[in-house]
Structure 1
Amino acid sequence: MNRFAIRCAAGLSVPFLLAACSSAPSSGDAAGAGSGSGEQQVTITVGDRPTSSDPANRAQYDQKVADFQKANPDIKLNPVETLWDPTTFQAQAAGGQLPDVLNVPFTEPQGLIARKQVADLTKVLKDDGLMTQLNPNVLKIGQDQSGNVYAVPTAAYSVGLVYNRDLFTKAGLDPNKPPATWDELRAYAKQITQKTGQAGYAQMTTSNTGGWMFTTQSYAFGGSIENEDGSKASFDDAPSRAALQALHDMKWVDKSMGQAVLYDIDGISKAFAAGKIGMYMSAPDAYRTLVTTNGLKASAFGIGPMPQQSGDHGTLSGGSVQIVSPNATDAEKAAAIKWIKFAYLNKYVNQDAAVTAAKNGVAAKQPVGVPGLPVVAADQYSTYQDWIKPYVNVPLENFAPYTKVAADQKIIPEPPVKAQEVYAALDPVVQTVLGSEKADISALLTKAAGTVNAKLGR
C-alpha cells in the first residue's frame, strides 16, 4: 500500500495468482525502430491516468503527457486509467488489457519475474544511462538473482522511528540521539512517561496497520513473516515472540504505552501531533501529515532509523516500481524508459525539473526537501539536494539521525504473498497483547500462523 509516499499497509501488497501475462496491443514497430531516432514513431500505452473524478491530478498528468510528447515527437503515448488492482490484474493480463507501462508495489516484482510477466529492461537502462543513476540498494527489488533488471523503482520508503523532540527534552533525553535498540526504546519510553505523563511509545494496531507494523518490528528483531517463496508463515518463532513480549512489557510492566491502543495511521498521527505520544514507527514523510495537516510544530518532529535488537537486521521498505510488458519490442522498451524517467524520476536527474518542482512546492506551502529513501544513487541524490537547497523549508537537522543511517540500513520488502490478508490476521494478535495483560503470546502466534497458512495454501 503506498500509504507513505508510500503509504504502505492498506492495499498494495496482494500477490498475483495466474501464470500468464500479456499487454495491451501497441502500435510500435516490432522491427525495433529506435526511440529518439526520428525514423519511425513508436506508440506505447501508459497506465495510471487519474480518473475524471480527480480533475486536478488528471490535468497534471495530461500536461505531463503533452510535455513529454513535445520533447519526444517520435514517441506517441496512449494514456489509460488502468491502475494496479490485485482483484483485477490477472484477468486484465490474461485478456491483453494491461498497458505497456504500469505502476505496481514493491511486493510484486519477484513474483512477476519468476512468472516471466515483465520485460527485461537491463540493456535499455544501460543504454539510457539510467542504470548508474539508480540506488543499487533499492534496485534489488526489481532484479533477478543474476542482476538483470525487470522493474524500475520510482518511489521508496523505509520505516524508521518518529519521535517528539519536545517530549525528549522534557524527559531529559537528548533529542539528537533516538534509541538505537529496542532495549533503549523501552527505557526511553518509560522515562518519557514518568517525566511527562504522556505515552512514551505507541504502535498502530487496526485496519491492517497492526500486522504491518508488527512485521516491521519482527524484522528488527531478526524475524520474518513468510518463508522465501511465500508458501508458509514463518512468524511463529523466537524473534516474533520477543517482539510481542517487548510490547507487552512496555504496556503492562512499564505502563509506558498509555491507555489508547486502537490506532490506525490517521489516529496515531493526530495523537502524536497533539503531544500525546513520544515515539512511534513511521517513515520520514510522516512529517507532511504531522506538520502540514495536524499542526505539529516543525521543530518538534524528529526521526531516527529503525531500532534493532540483537543484531543489525534491517527494516521494512515499500514503494512503487514501474513494469513494462514482456511483449514490448526494443523500441517500445526504450520509449517506456524515457517515459518512466520523465514522469517519475525527472526531478532527480534534471536540474530544471528539480527546481521547478521545489518552487511549486514552496508556492503551494508544502514541505520541500523531506528526506527519505532515495530511488537514485547517493551521488545523484546529493546532486538533487544541491539543486533544491535554496527552496528547502523543512528542518533537515531533525532528520539527520535517520539520514545518517537509513541509506545503508538493510531494507526488507513486505511479505511477498497475500500481505494484506497476513496483516489482517496479525492485527488481533497485537491488539490482544496490548489489550490483555495475560495474553498468551505463543498461542496467539500459533493460531495466527494457522490462519495465514490456510490463506497461503489456497
Structure 2
Amino acid sequence: MRRRKFNQLSLFLAGLGLVSCSDSAVLNYRAPGKNSKFRVWWIQSFYPAETEALSQIVADWEKKNNTKVEITFYNDGSVNRDAENALNNGNPPDILFSNTAEFSLYPRLAWQNKLVDVSDVVEPVKDLFSPIALKAVSYQNGATNKRSYYAVPIAQLSAGLHYWRDLLADVGLSDTNIPRDWDGFWKFWETAQDAAKSKGKKDVYGIGLPMSAEATDTIFMFEQFLTAYGVDLINDNGQLQADDPKNRQGIVDALKKYAGFYKSEHVPPKAIQWSDADNNQVFLSRNSFMTANPGLSIPASQQFDTNVYTKKLVTTEWPLAPSGKPLNYLVAVKQAVIFADSPNQAMAKNLLSHIIQPSNLVTYLKGAGGRYFPTMPKLLEDPYYKDSQDPHILTATKQFQNTSSFYTAQNAAYSEVGAKQIWGQAIRSVAKGTVTPEQAADTAIAQIKNIFSQWK
C-alpha cells in the first residue's frame, strides 16, 4: 500500500512540474569509514506518522548510499540548548532541525561562521521555494561579511487562531457574528468572557495570549501584532529604523492592545508566567474561548474525536489589520543546518538534498498532520492543502497567500532581541502596570538600538 501511494504522489508531482530532483541535483559524497558516526538531531514529532515518514525517507537514503544515520529526536525545550552545548564542547551533530532556532540560534551561529554554507543544496531547487523561505535561510556571515544560504528550508507555519464554537453557544453567542475589523474582533472575545461570568463561569477567559518573557510564542504573537500595527523596524537592507516616529507609535499601540487584555482581566492571570505549552493546555481545558498558536498542533491533538475536531473546535483567519487592510501573516520557516565542525559535511549535504526532493518533502509534511506546511508553493496546490476536507488545514493554507518574514532574516543582530526577551519584558511590565506602553516602547527601542550598536 505504501508503494502504491508513493507512485500516485510521484505522478501528481510530475503533473505539477515537481518531479523528484535528478541524481545530479543530489550532491555526491564519499562514504565514510566504518567507525564514523553520522549524527542527525531532529525535533520530536507530535504524531507517529511524522516520525515514520522521516524515518522512511532516511532509510531509503541509507539503503541507496550504504551508510547508517544515527537519528536522535529532541523535544522543543531542550534541542537548542543541547545543540549549543555540544557545539561548545566540540562535538555537535552533523545536522540539526529545530522548531525554534530560527528566532535566535541560527542567525547568531551563521554570523559567527559556525554553520556550513549550503548554497549547493539550495541552489539546484531554488526556483521551487517561496521567496519568504529563501529570505529566511539567507544569513549574514560576520567573518566573510557576505550573505549566503546557511540553512535549508524544510517547512513553514504561521500563527493560527482557534476558538470553541460550543462555548460561545453556551453563553448565547454565535460565531457567525464574529466581526472582521480589528477592534471589533478582539472585543467579541471580551464580550464572550463577560457573558460567561454573568452565568457564573468565572474560570473561562476570553483570550488566551501568552504574556510571559520566556515563551517563544510571545515573540511570535506580539510580532504579529507589530506587523498588524504597521511597524517596520528593519528595512530590506538590514538597517534599523527604530527612530522612525511611525514605528514608535505602532509599538506603543501594539503594547497597549496586547497587554491591555491582561490589564482588563480578559487573559488568565498566570499568562505572565506561561511557557509555550501553557496556552495550549488552558485552551484545551476549555478555560479560554480562543487562543493563538503557531501551526495546527492544537486542533491536531483533537483528531481522535471527530465531533470536537470538525464541529466544536474552529480555526479561523485573523481579522483585518487596524488600518482595515488584509493582514500580512508572519511566517516562521523551520530550517535544517549543518555545523561547521561537522566531520561529515558532504554527507550531510547529500542527505538534506534527498530530504528536500519534493516527493520526499510533501510526504514528510503530510505526516506532520498540519503541524508544518510546505515552503514550496506548488506543493500547497496539492489537494491535501488547497482543497482539503480538513477545515483547519484549509484555513491555515490560505494564510500563506499574504506573508511577511521575521526580522532575523534581515539582520542577525535582531536575534538578540528574542534572546534577551525584549518584547516579553515590555509586555509583562505593561501588563503588570509598572510602566506605561509609551515608557515600555521607549525602553525596548533603546535596548534594540544598543544591541545593534554592539553587535559583533
TM range (shorter): 0.5 to 0.7
Aligned residues of 1:177 and 1:401 also touching (Cα < 8 A)? no
Give the match for residue 349 of structure 1: 359
Following superposition, the deviation at residue 244 of structure 1 comes to 1.9
Q: Describe the SS at the equivalent of 1:291.
A: coil
Aligned residues of 1:211 and 1:422 also touching (Cα < 8 A)? no
Separation in 2, partners of 1:91, 1:371: 28
Q: Deviations over 1:190-248 (max 9, x none)?
A: 33224333422232122522455333322322225678759897798111110122235
The answer on 1:397 being equivalent to 2:409 is no
Give the match for residue 409 of structure 1: 403
Distance 1:116 1:159, change over 3 A: same
1:418 to 416, 419, 423: 416
Separation in 1, partners of 2:399, 2:63: 41
Following superposition, the deviation at residue 305 of structure 1 comes to 3.5
Q: Describe the SS at the equivalent of 1:106.
A: helix
Residue identity over aligned pairs, in percent, reads 15
Following superposition, the deviation at residue 280 of structure 1 comes to 2.3
The answer on 1:201 being equivalent to 2:207 is yes
Q: Deviations over 1:31-88 (max 9, x none)?
A: xx9897999646897543479xxxx999998886554221234xx4564879964687
Aligned pairs (5 A) from 1:97-246 = 97-98=91-92, 100-103=94-97, 105-107=101-103, 118-127=115-124, 130-143=125-138, 149-170=149-170, 175=175, 180-197=180-197, 198-206=204-212, 208-209=214-215, 210-223=218-231, 237-246=248-257
Aligned residues of 1:221 and 1:243 also touching (Cα < 8 A)? yes
Aligned residues of 1:118 and 1:150 also touching (Cα < 8 A)? yes
The answer on 1:382 being equivalent to 2:381 is yes
Give the match for residue 9 of structure 1: none
1:69 to 62, 72, 91: 62
Distance 1:432 1:157, change over 3 A: same
Residue type of the alignment partner of 2:436: D
Give the gaps of 5 or more residues in structure 1: 1-32, 362-367
Aligned residues of 2:62 and 2:69 also touching (Cα < 8 A)? no
Distance 1:137 1:79, change over 3 A: same
Give the match for residue 370 of structure 2: 370
Separation in 2, partners of 1:386, 1:160: 15
Give the match for residue 445 of structure 1: 441
Distance 1:400 1:187, change over 3 A: farther
Distance 1:186 1:327, change over 3 A: closer
Q: Deviations over 1:240-268 (max 9, x none)?
A: 11012223554556x64465543433332
Give the gaps of 5 or more residues in structure 2: 1-22, 141-145, 198-203
2:427 to 414, 426, 430: 430
Distance 1:371 1:270, change over 3 A: closer
Comparing 448-457 and 236-245, the one that deviates more? 448-457
Distance 1:412 1:204, change over 3 A: same
Separation in 1, partners of 2:315, 2:131: 24
Distance 1:181 1:401, change over 3 A: farther
1:309 to 322, 325, 348: 322
Computed over aligned residues only, the root mean square deviation of the Cα atoms, in angstroms, reads 5.0
Distance 1:412 1:248, change over 3 A: closer
Distance 1:221 1:386, change over 3 A: closer
Give the match for residue 18 of structure 1: none
Residue type of the alignment partner of 1:213: M
Aligned residues of 1:163 and 1:301 also touching (Cα < 8 A)? yes
Separation in 1, partners of 2:439, 2:302: 40
Aligned residues of 1:154 and 1:320 also touching (Cα < 8 A)? yes
Q: Deviations over 1:306-328 (max 9, x none)?
A: 44332556343334312346799
Give the match for residue 282 of structure 1: 293
Q: Describe the SS at the equivalent of 2:314.
A: strand
Residue type of the alignment partner of 1:426: W
Separation in 2, partners of 1:206, 1:242: 19
Separation in 1, partners of 2:53, 2:398: 34
**Larger proportion of helix:** 2
Distance 1:238 1:87, change over 3 A: farther
Aligned pairs (5 A) from 1:240-255 = 240-247=251-258, 249-251=260-262
Q: Deviations over 1:130-175 (max 9, x none)?
A: 4344344323212379996442111322113222223444566663
Distance 1:142 1:91, change over 3 A: same
Give the match for residue 336 of structure 2: 322
Q: How many residues align?
A: 394
Residue type of the alignment partner of 1:402: A
Separation in 1, partners of 2:373, 2:263: 35
